[in-house]
Amino acid sequence: MAWIAYLLLPVTGLPAYLKGRDARTRFHGLQAVVYGFLWPASLFGATYISAAVTQILFGIGGLLWLALLVTTMLGRDLKLPFISGFLSRAAAEAPNA
């Protein structure tokens, strides 16, 4: 059920992290929260460059979001570069423990 974290970024990621029973669900919850903040922030920054860059970034971000959703649904773990190690360590321990 880790794929549910990606349905409504980052809204569904937070409950997946906080209530996740296993480390995989918590990892994808955290990753959904991070991606749910980074994607719009990068779109905001791209508006200062040009409309074309914003549209390209929106398209790439949408494809990445869809890839995260589908691969997680299929039982594979697509991980974002640079932050996956930190997120894996954070998800290994339950937040309520």
Query: Residues 65, 44, 38, 57: is their CA dihedral positive or negative?
Result: positive
- Average pLDDT of span 81-93: 90
Average pLDDT over residues 33-58: 96
Q: How confident is the model at residue 95 (pLDDT cuts 50, 70, 90)?
A: confident
Domains of the chain, residue spans: 9-91
Model pLDDT, residue 65: 97
- For the chain, the average pLDDT equals 93
Report which of 22, 38, 45 is spatially closest to residue 81, judged by C-alpha positions.
38
The predicted structure's pLDDT at residue 93? 84
**In the numeric block, which tokens belong to residue 5?**
């974290």
Q: What was the pLDDT predicted at 1?
A: 81
Q: Residue 8's pLDDT is what?
A: 93
How high is the pLDDT of residue 45? 96
Mean pLDDT value across residues 15-27: 92
More confident residue, 93 or 26: 26
One DSSP character per residue, 47-62 reads TTT-HHHHHHHHHHHH
Flag whether pLDDT at 44 surpasses 90.
Answer: yes
